[in-house]
Structure 1
């Protein structure tokens, strides 16, 4: 049985949660952090994923890929590419499909990886983090993504999960996941005919800002409106601080950090820490050692200076709020609560701007960093066939209208709007077409002018075959089941032909009919399923062959990483054994080795050490094992004698302690018997006394 896994796939950090022990738990990583950097790095031998990648980022800046969430299905020719490339230090290149890929140096060779592969590498890492921490089977996952993700990006995220060996049961909007976390654990929500509670969720993370208006009742929620600014987040505040200090240091120290990627990265990392400090303090120092050219820099900043610096950013706070309220058909006064999530909402001046936009105080009922992951884990548990969860129904909304078209056979009858803008999903629509043979269908966004520039108008295409005309038939009715699934993906789930058949239907007898009256029948024409049709889908998802190839590549890279880790582990074990054995040979083990053995072993240890730091510095796993076993053949013999003697001492001490305990117990029992005898004698003497008076 798979333990439900929720992944809040963040641009800077990701949070992992699982549903277990009748609750939702956040999973800590290998260094006990409750979030894991969304980083994939490449080294001379292996990959650096998560915490390791973040640790090595400054020294490996050009081979470390960040912003994984942003480069998934990003077109190289898209205007967003220019925006994103400012924040990503690795080289971004154009792939064969027009999407962005990352070019890095890995294992001594230049390699290029797609956004799908990079996301899969990271997901594989966090999957193993969850497995190591929970000791559970992990396969099903619910992934939280931004509300602005397109159909292509959702398919890509789903493919990445499959490459990582996960089953993506649902791709959910991140703010919707947080709202589920809110609705499930709130005990005071209205019920029945009561007016729904209207809650606005404002999520400002590392790279984007989303505002959603939700209506809650006990056991259910409905998304009323969602708007976003996909280029507004904590990284913009970090960059504003960094650019301020870049100008200051250029004038003060005559260095330009913009010309050095490592220096710029170090300052932007320090700027992020400064931003967090100023959220709780009115002023803070700023210093970084040896930024570039061996120059140490230092300065300071007050909260007022920061607020003045980010004023242009704060003017963008109101727009998503206004758009979300307009989509919901509500005013700010009709919103009952404003919940803020996302780490950037801790900035005091930003909180004030959000509060002013709604005209009411903010609420922080939810954990700002973990609410999305917990909601995703609960949603994954809903899909589990073996777990019972608290009933909770939720619906999201279509941001754009979606229509379906088919081969044109009559004027103005080839297109149908199936899922209107602001309608809810998941949802299913049944339509009937009259066809003369096999045909194609396409799904596309109805109003191209409403779409952001980077969104492709076409969504998917389907080939529907198996349509056969009967004798004398001009056309045959075809029933189609069109669906927008829980992940917001548009599909054709079923297609079949219909036929009319004549059946006999019994006519109800009148109430005064005789008991032995014969039933009467009438002939009725009924439409029934005739034959299932074959549906071949052409979506943004990878085909089976391409998917399997990427799975094999990821498995190969995993095996390589594992071999490198095990080789380093064996090398460290050998090094530790050399120094430990050498140190103990003249101390604890001195009396258990002959002079000849000591001489021979010291020579072996010296040769092993010389080899380890010369020819063996970069050797293979088998050679480290062989060297260890060579030393252990004599070293463990001496160690065994020492341990045998120590065990004899322990046994002797244990026997002495047991004998002492037995002696103490015997003395205690003897004293107890003596006391009982004396008490008995005293009682007998008392009974034998005679009063002579």
Structure 2
């Protein structure tokens, strides 16, 4: 099994995996650590990720971006109108959901945002699986903290269509905080003051600020604020508008009338913006932008800051909101961690540092922090890895209330209740109590619709409670409903049950005075019976079936979409395999044509050579005429035909090669045997020489001993 965390960004996606006792960010098929968040459609197959980026300019109307920002939205939402400025494919309404209309395999097709996200997640799944050489199922996926219930449900549906098991849908800022805290070994414990850190994430399309408290083994998000339309793309748009006016005046070209030209300018200003983060000025040159005209310009950093001044004036707003919600001051924070590509802009860094009155910290990888946090979260939730325990206490972004019809028997009953307050802990469970004699419905909705993004419908779901009836005395049934805001940030009424008040006896605790207390025991040594009292307690008596109606797709719909996605996946695979076979055939034609007069020359007669060359020429003509759009089977058949004709020649060549290999191997073996024999002979000669030397040495030792004896006797006689 694998452990994968996915940072699904508006512009690009990063994949983190747990392995080698750490977290790695894996590369895609082009060795990039991030994959463009794009889905494109072509005449034969879909283009996903890098392939979609390559085709984007030539396939504008069939390429969809900003995938996650369309999730769970409706076409009439004003924020969808904003997204259309960044998406080249036309957006349409599909059964109340926003989607895109594209030309796929020669026909007009419509796909919802949920389907588009599922297609892209399938590509990310395959990228991770190829790198890990394992099937990928369990994942943790990131989303912005401002996502509503319907947006989160759309992400879960997309993951299910892509055949992924989503263990957690985690907020971007919470993933960053987890990645920061889980590796720290010096966090405060017990009653000590927690470490407070502000995490500021300014990415391609939005800006979030979270204040998080850390203690050993846990983190608690205290406040989160955001600006949904503040990011790198807003800077890019300001630059595109500026250069659009300049090019119109200076070069007489209007990029607003040419989508491809505008996209090329967008790509160029993104590079220019990055250069200006480290330099005081930067050039912009685009050859043949439109109408065969080259354009060029130069921009200074001061000019850029003037262009984006309205944006820069909004920099401190989320910072102030987060501090106010957390009831803290700038000096109460221990660190300010910066994350996201847009935090490299000097003007933004300066404004934030000035607001807090302290240096900023860049200890986290600005582009990959979310993916790493997602992978850590997946590791903690998966049984595959052993990770140190680390609790996450996230917060509720919007207050949620339940409403219901008033019971006719209870005329003064309240009909609404705010159950989950903004800033409350998530995940969390609340038990709701109702007194009823018949089945009833209740609705969940956001209590303050004005806080929601765009024109989001505040309705979350409708829950019907069945199986309720009055008791034998025509009294109310006490109904308990378990409402849970789960770790995905999604609300459900998970279960219902009813209770009854019953009388039970419970012992009365003895009141002790001093260390010991004497008691009268009339029965001598017999122990006194403990005193008891009767109390009423509620006992669970049975279950109440609860049916839910939410924005989630029902099972038949999900199954149908999953089957459709599998079919498109297999079609893509067939197209890719067919293209591989076509390339293989083309490469073999050129390889064989060069080899027939070279390495195969001595193994073929002139007649065979002519026959092979004729076959290659005919196959090549077919390949570039009738065979341009042939099937996989046809390419395989053509390859087999060539191999049949060239087979005898290639076979003779291979036999000769094998004979030479055998001869070389035999020669090598003989040389090795000879070397071993020489070494053995040398060893034996050395042993024999050693043995021959031993008697002579013994005789010499004996003579020396005799001489010493005589010498001793002479000395003694003296």
Task: Give me the TM-score of the superposition, normalised by structure 1.
Answer: 0.95
CA displacement at 1:339 relative to structure 2 = 0.3
Q: CA–CA distance in 1 between the matches of 2:418 and 2:506?
A: 38
Report how far residue 178 of structure 1 moved.
0.5
Measure the CA separation in 2 of the matches of 1:119 and 1:511: 78
Q: How far did residue 524 of structure 1 move?
A: 5.4
Question: What residue number does 1:417 align with?
Answer: 418
Cα distance in 2 for residues equivalent to 1:149 and 1:451? 9
Aligned with residue 105 of structure 1, among 84, 93, 103: 103
3-state secondary structure, aligned to 2:551: coil
Alignment check: 8 A CA contact 2:611 2:645 kept: no
What pairs up with 1:319-358 in 2 under 5 angstroms?
A: 319-358=317-356
Moved more, 78-87 or 369-378: 78-87
SS of 1:463's partner is: strand
> What is the deviation of 1:114?
0.9
Look up the match of 1:231: 229
Structure 2 counterpart of 1:305: 303
Q: 8 Å contact 2:396–2:422 — kept in the other structure?
A: yes
Instruction: Give the secondary-structure state (helix, strand or coil) at the position aligned to 2:495.
Output: strand
Alpha-carbon distance change, 373 to 583 in structure 1, aligned in 2, over 3 angstroms: same
String of CA shifts for 1:263-295, please: whole Å, max 9, x gaps. 110111111112122223333332122211222
Residue 55 of structure 1 aligns with which residue?
54
Q: Is residue 616 of structure 2 the alignment partner of residue 605 of structure 1?
A: yes
Q: CA deviation at 1:517?
A: 7.8
1:536 to 532, 547, 563: 547
Query: 1:350-382 deviations in whole A, cap 9, x for unaligned?
Result: 211221122211101111111111111111222
RMSD over aligned Cα atoms: 2.1
1:277 maps to 275
Q: Greater CA deviation, 351-360 or 126-135?
A: 351-360
Q: Distance in 2 between matches of 1:671 and 1:44?
A: 76
Partner of 1:595: 606
Deviations 1:58-105 (CA, angstroms, capped at 9, x unpaired): 1111211111111122222222123221111111122331x3211111
1:277-296 aligned at under 5 Å gives the runs 277-296=275-294
User: Which residue of 221, 244, 247 maps to 1:246?
Assistant: 244
Alignment of 1:682-693 (within 5 A): 682-689=693-700, 690=703
Partners of 1:575 and 1:630 in 2: CA distance: 14
Output the CA distance in 2 between the equivalents of 1:91 and 1:46: 19
Cα offset, 1:523, TM superposition: 6.1
Q: How many Å apart are 1:152 and its aligned residue?
A: 0.7
Are residue 571 (structure 1) and residue 582 (structure 2) matched?
yes
Match of residue 560 from structure 1? 571
Change (3 A) 1:451 1:623: closer
Instruction: Name whichever of 492-501 and 156-165 sits farther off.
Output: 492-501
SS of the residue aligned with 2:355? helix
Q: How many residues align?
A: 691
Q: Which residue of 2 aligns with 1:216?
A: 214
Q: Does 1:615 align with 2:605?
A: no
Q: Which residue of 1 aligns with 2:11?
A: 12
**Following TM superposition, by how much is the alpha carbon of 1:313 offset from its aligned partner in structure 2, in angstroms?**
1.6
Shift of 1:621: 1.2
Counterpart in 1 of 2:716?
none
Q: State the secondary structure of the residue aligned to 2:283.
A: strand
* Alpha-carbon displacement from aligned partner over 1:130-172 (angstroms, at most 9, x marks no partner): 1111012311221110111111100001101001001112111
Cα pair distance change 1:449/1:63, threshold 3 Å: closer
Distance in structure 1 (CA, Å) of the matches to 2:235 and 2:402: 43
Deviations 1:634-655 (A, max 9, x none): 3233222211211110111121
In the TM superposition, what are the counterparts of 1:111-130 in structure 2 within 5 Å? 111-130=109-128
Residues 518, 218 of structure 1: alpha-carbon distance in 2 compared, 3 angstrom cutoff: closer
Question: Quick check: 2:148–2:452 contact (8 Å CA) kept in 1?
Answer: no
Question: 1:686 Cα deviation (Å)?
Answer: 4.2
| 1:184-225 Cα distance to aligned partner (Å, 9 max, x none) | 011221111110111000000000000111111111111111
Contact 2:3 2:382 in 1 (8 A): yes
* Residue aligned with 1:498, SS: strand
How far did residue 319 of structure 1 move? 0.4
Q: 1:504 to 1:222 in 2, by over 3 A?
A: closer
Query: Does the C-alpha gap of structure 1 residues 497 and 66 become closer, same or farther in structure 2, counting only changes over 3 Å?
Result: same
Q: How far 1:476 sits from its partner (Å)?
A: 0.7
Relative distance call for 1:608 and 1:171 in structure 2 (3 A) is same
Relative to structure 1, is the Cα distance of residues 598 and 161 closer, same or farther in structure 2, using a 3 angstrom cutoff? same
- TM-score normalised by structure 2 residue count: 0.92
* 1:162-561 map, 5 Å: 162-409=160-407, 410-502=411-503, 512=521, 514-515=525-526, 525-561=536-572
User: For 2:627, what is the secondary structure of its paired residue?
Assistant: coil
- 1:139 matched residue in structure 2: 137
Larger displacement relative to structure 2 (624-633 or 678-687):
678-687
Is the counterpart of residue 641 in structure 1 residue 652 in structure 2? yes
**Which of 659, 664, 668 is 1:653 aligned to?**
664
Structure 1: how far apart are the matches of 2:682 and 2:310?
90
In structure 2, C-alpha distance between the alignment counterparts of 1:646 and 1:81, rounded to whole Å:
66
For 2:526 and 2:3, the matched residues in 1 are separated by 61
The C-alpha deviation readout for 1:299-322, integer Å capped at 9, x for no partner, is 233333323332222111010101
> Structure 1 stretch 262-271 or stretch 589-598: which is displaced more?
589-598
Indicate the SS of the match to 1:296. strand
Runs (5+) with no aligned partner, structure 2: 511-518, 712-718
Greater radius of gyration (CA): 2
Q: Give distance in 1, aligned partners of 2:123 and 2:305.
A: 38
Instruction: Using the TM superposition, name which of 207-216 and 636-645 deviates more.
Output: 636-645
CA distance in structure 2 between the partners assigned to 1:92 and 1:195 by the alignment: 51
Structure 2 vs 1, CA of residues 182 and 506 (structure 1 numbering), >3 Å: closer, same or farther? closer
- Between the aligned partners of 2:222 and 2:644, the Cα distance in structure 1 is 73
Secondary structure of 1:573's counterpart equals helix
How far, CA to CA, are the matches of 1:307 and 1:505 in structure 2? 74
Question: Within 1, Cα distance between the matches of 2:530 and 2:359?
Answer: 73
> Which segment is superposed worse, 314-323 or 393-402?
393-402
Deviations along 1:437-481, whole A, 9 cap, x unmatched? 111111112233444442322211101101122222221101111
Alpha-carbon separation, structure 2, partners of 1:285 and 1:19: 42
For 1:95, the equivalent position in structure 2 comes to 94
Q: Distance in 1 between matches of 2:76 and 2:529?
A: 78
Shift of 1:344: 1.1
Residues 1:652 and 1:451: Cα distance change in structure 2 (over 3 Å): closer
Quick one: structure 1 residues 310 and 449, their matched pair in 2 at CA, closer, same or farther if it must change by over 3 Å? closer
**Residues of 2 paired with 1:233 and 1:224: CA distance?**
24
User: How many Å separate the matches in 2 of 1:506 and 1:101?
Assistant: 65
Find the aligned partners of 1:293 and 1:511 in 2 and give their Cα distance: 111
